[in-house]
């Protein structure tokens, strides 16, 4: 039986599947945008122990990268972004779970109850007749100090709006 004739010219490449290697190169480039593609290929060749030789493996990866690299890099960036979003969601969910547990703890509930009690007391005191009398007396006192300062030809010094400091009267 007669054998089929061989095709002329240089034979096609060895048919090595570099899908995993190219994906690793894309992953490296996606995580470190300052890294040049050739350096990433060298690192991948060293990590995966590509054969027949390191240099020929890098050249082979470069040829394949020139054809498929853009798509692989975009896919790697998309994978990394999705992974970062997943991790952020996990961390946020864990944080919210812990926060909810702490907010529902007996200590926090008791603290809020006590603070509500003090806030109610402060509101009642601020609206009480005694506080109104105190504010009126302070206003009268401030007015008198201002009148004396004007009589002596001195301007009262205002340290904060609504608060007068006593001027030197001698």
Report if residue 114 sits inside a domain: yes
Q: What percent of the chain has pLDDT over 70?
A: 88
d(CA 53, CA 60): 11
Q: Is residue 2 part of a domain?
A: no
Q: Is residue 147 part of a domain?
A: yes
User: Which residue carries 């995580």 as its tokens?
Assistant: 31
Instruction: Write down the pTM of the prediction.
Output: 0.52
Give yes or no: residues 27 and 99 share one domain: yes
Residues in the chain with pLDDT values less than 50: 159, 170
> In this predicted model, what pLDDT tens digit does every residue of 61-101 receive, in sequence order?
999 999 999 999 999 999 999 999 999 999 999 999 998 88
Strand ranges (E), the chain? 157-160, 163-165
Expressed as residue numbers, the domain containing 161 is 106-165
Q: Which of 103, 134, 150 is the last residue of a domain?
A: 103
29 domain residue, yes or no: yes
Please give the tally of structural domains in the chain. 2
Q: Within a 13 Å sphere around the CA of 103, how many CA atoms are in the beta-carbon half?
A: 6
What confidence score (pLDDT) does residue 170 get?
A: 47
pLDDT at site 166: 55
SS3 string, 119-133, reads HHHHHHHHCCHHHHH
């Amino acid at each position: 039986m007669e054998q089929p004739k061989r095709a002329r010219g240089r034979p096609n490449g060895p048919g090595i599947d570099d899908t995993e290697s190219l994906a690793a190169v894309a992953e490296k480039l996606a995580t470190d945008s300052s890294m040049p593609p050739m350096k990433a290929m060298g690192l991948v060749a060293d990590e995966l122990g590509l054969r027949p030789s390191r240099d020929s493996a890098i050249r082979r990866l470069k040829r394949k990268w020139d054809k498929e690299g853009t798509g692989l890099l975009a896919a790697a960036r998309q994978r990394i972004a999705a992974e970062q979003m997943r991790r952020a969601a996990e961390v946020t969910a864990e944080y919210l779970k812990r926060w909810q547990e702490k907010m529902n703890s007996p200590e926090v509930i008791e603290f809020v109850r006590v603070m509500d009690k003090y806030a109610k007391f402060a509101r009642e005191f601020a609206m009480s007749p005694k506080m109104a009398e105190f504010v009126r007396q302070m206003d009268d006192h401030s007015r008198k100090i201002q009148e004396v300062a004007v009589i002596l030809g001195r301007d009262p010094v205002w340290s904060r709006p609504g608060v007068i400091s006593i001027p030197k009267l001698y």
